[in-house]
């Protein structure tokens, strides 16, 4: 009996729960980015933004003036003062926008907006503090791509002839800020869903040319690849499922070890259902989140441990500490 308290001390950290953080808003969050272990930016519905400079202990909560009808589905944290926010939604309704702040959210600049019919931004990602890329659902059968070389201050379109062509009904899900990811100085990947989706598009020249591969993750109007994470130029994870049936069992995970040229469907992660974001921790463990709950693998996806059924949409980690966000003001932190 004397050993029991000691054993509990050893076991408890491995099963530590998500700690819900007070953010003083009920906005829905699908975007989170960390500049480092202290500076985290979060984007949400109603033009809402959050900023923490102490690792999530306290939060600045605000609304971007003029963006009250926008839903920020992706964000790139640059530093404690600078961040770039992307609004998802129909361009025809004024939703296709990119904002930037350089003073910690005190004021914002509308850096990009288009009213081109069919544009609906799905995600953005930055290779470094200056160079980034964003993409929209297809127009005329091709994804719409724009690039920045000055930290998001200005954006230039990539010619449609250089954008990847998609199947009829194929698009992307603006669900977790991870439908587009970058690595190194020029690698970029896009995950697709919808009819004919379940694929990953890849570029090794900053989006100027593309190839595409099947992942084996089923796709239809509500299914497909929702999130990607690459931890080397060769090794990556694709996760997905069905956003209309978030707890329904089925294939929700695929891996690549050749930069996305080929994908291998893996044993579905548990708890079963939709996964929207993935991360590889420094100890080699893999972490997945989604509306169906949190999953952890200690053996590169061969088997999975169901940690909880907390519903989250997006995830970011620095070191062994992670932040996850979801609907109704859900912001949480967990150290593994």
Separation between Cα atoms, residue 192 and residue 71, nearest integer Å: 20
Helix/strand/coil percent split, the chain, to 5 = 5, 45, 50
Query: What angle (nearest 5°) sits at the alpha carbon of residue 170, between those of residues 273 and 316?
Result: 50
Separation between Cα atoms, residue 191 and residue 279, nearest integer Å: 16
Among 80, 85, 82, residue whose Cα is nearest residue 65 = 85
Question: What pLDDT does 10 receive?
Answer: 41
pLDDT band at 11 (very low <50, low <70, confident <90, very high): very low
Question: Can you list the domains of the chain with their CATH numbers?
Answer: 82-95+112-335 (2.130.10.10)
| CB 58 within 8 Å of CB 38 | no
Question: What pLDDT does 141 receive?
Answer: 97
Q: What is the mean pLDDT of the chain?
A: 95
**β-sheet with 223-230: strand ranges across:** 170-171, 193-194, 223-230, 236-242, 253-256, 264-265
| Mean pLDDT across 284-307 | 96
Q: Is pLDDT above 70 for 207? A: yes
- Between the CA of residue 76 and those of 31, 178, 181, what are the distances in Å? 9, 11, 11
Separation between Cα atoms, residue 296 and residue 303, nearest integer Å: 9
Question: What pLDDT does 109 receive?
Answer: 98
Q: Is pLDDT above 60 for 13? A: no
**Which residues lie below 8 Å from residue 232, measured CB to CB, with a gap of 6+?**
183
| Mean pLDDT across 237-246 | 98
Question: What pLDDT does 2 receive?
Answer: 39
| Mean pLDDT across 84-95 | 98
Question: What pLDDT does 9 receive?
Answer: 39
Question: What pLDDT does 6 receive?
Answer: 38
Question: What pLDDT does 304 receive?
Answer: 95
**Which residues lie below 8 Å from residue 114, measured CB to CB, with a gap of 6+?**
91, 96
- pLDDT tens-digit readout, 124-166: 999 999 999 999 999 999 999 999 999 999 999 999 999 999 9
Q: Is pLDDT above 70 for 211? A: yes
């Amino acid at each position: 009996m004397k050993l029991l308290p000691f054993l509990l001390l050893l076991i408890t950290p491995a099963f530590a729960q998500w700690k819900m953080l007070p953010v003083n808003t009920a906005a829905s969050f699908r975007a989170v980015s960390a500049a480092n272990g202290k500076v985290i930016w979060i984007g949400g519905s109603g033009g809402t933004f959050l900023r923490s400079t102490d690792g999530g202990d306290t939060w600045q909560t605000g609304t971007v003036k003029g963006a009250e009808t926008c839903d920020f589905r992706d964000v790139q944290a640059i530093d404690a003062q600078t961040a770039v926010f992307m609004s998802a939604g129909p361009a025809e309704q004024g939703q296709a926008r990119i904002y930037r702040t350089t003073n910690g959210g005190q004021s914002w600049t509308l850096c990009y907006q288009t009213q081109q019919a069919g544009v609906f931004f799905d995600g953005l990602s930055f290779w470094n503090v200056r160079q980034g890329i964003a993409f929209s659902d297809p127009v005329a059968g091709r994804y719409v791509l724009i690039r920045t070389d000055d930290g998001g201050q200005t954006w230039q379109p990539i010619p449609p002839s250089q954008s990847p062509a998609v199947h009829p009904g194929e698009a992307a899900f603006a669900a977790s800020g991870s439908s587009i990811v970058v690595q190194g100085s020029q690698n970029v990947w896009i995950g697709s869903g919808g009819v004919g989706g379940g694929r990953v598009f890849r570029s090794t020249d900053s989006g100027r040319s593309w190839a595409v591969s099947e992942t084996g993750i089923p796709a239809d109007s509500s299914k497909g690849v929702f999130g990607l994470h690459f931890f080397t130029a060769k090794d990556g994870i694709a996760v997905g499922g069905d956003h209309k049936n978030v707890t329904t069992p089925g294939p929700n995970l695929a891996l690549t070890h050749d930069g996305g040229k080929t994908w291998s469907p893996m044993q579905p992660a548990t708890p079963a259902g939709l996964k929207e974001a993935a991360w590889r921790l420094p100890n080699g463990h893999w972490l997945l989140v989604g509306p169906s709950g949190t999953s952890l693998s200690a053996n590169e996806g061969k088997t999975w441990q169901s940690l909880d059924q907390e519903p989250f949409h997006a995830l970011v980690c620095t070191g062994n500490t992670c932040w996850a966000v979801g609907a109704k003001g859900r912001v949480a932190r967990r150290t593994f």
